[in-house]
Structure 1
Amino acid sequence: MARLGPCPAIIQRPYRTSGTTPPGVHSDGVCLKPRYALRAAIQSTISEFVNGHGMRQCRYRSHSKAHVQHVLTALAVNLCRRSENSPRSA
């Protein structure tokens, strides 16, 4: 995870004098954009699993069998991603 530090927007522009902060910046001056970017990436992956591969409902009731289902589904998704990104030979 990216280290949170002072946002460059606060350093460049003096928003503090008017009592408002620029968008994407917390009131204590921490830039939240790296955190939002990470969250968006995770949510898109979860959305792909739920909407594209039926992971909203599990087929099995026991914890170990459900875990195996999730691991195999993740493996299948990764293989599909790999095949989409691999160069095709003519």
Structure 2
Amino acid sequence: MSLPWLVVGGAGREFEPVSSHLRDCLLGDVSPLTCRSYVYDLLRWFRVLWAVGVGWEQAAGTEAAALVGWSRSARNPERQQRREGGIRPGL
């Protein structure tokens, strides 16, 4: 099955655990936009794991806490907008 999105590792090769999950989603009753969102979430997760040098099989609460901390501190224009002047109309 051809995949519309791929997560690649540092060597530029397809990262099979994510591709396998994406195939399962696409074969199930999940919308393509939901699959795309899942892929971006998994990419964030794996970037944290790669940054701290932990394989996904060994990931634990410490790495989950690192992801949460990174998510809270990362620049997010939508979050900044809500703090400064409330939610924009239409969002």
Is the TM-score greater than 0.5?
Answer: no
Q: How high is the TM-score relative to the length of structure 2? A: 0.35
Structure number having the greater helix percentage: 2
Given the two structures, how large is their TM-score scaled by the length of structure 1? 0.35
Q: Highest relative contact order (Cα 8 Å, sep 6+), 1 or 2?
A: 1
**Computing the radius of gyration over CA atoms, which structure comes out larger, 1 or 2?**
1
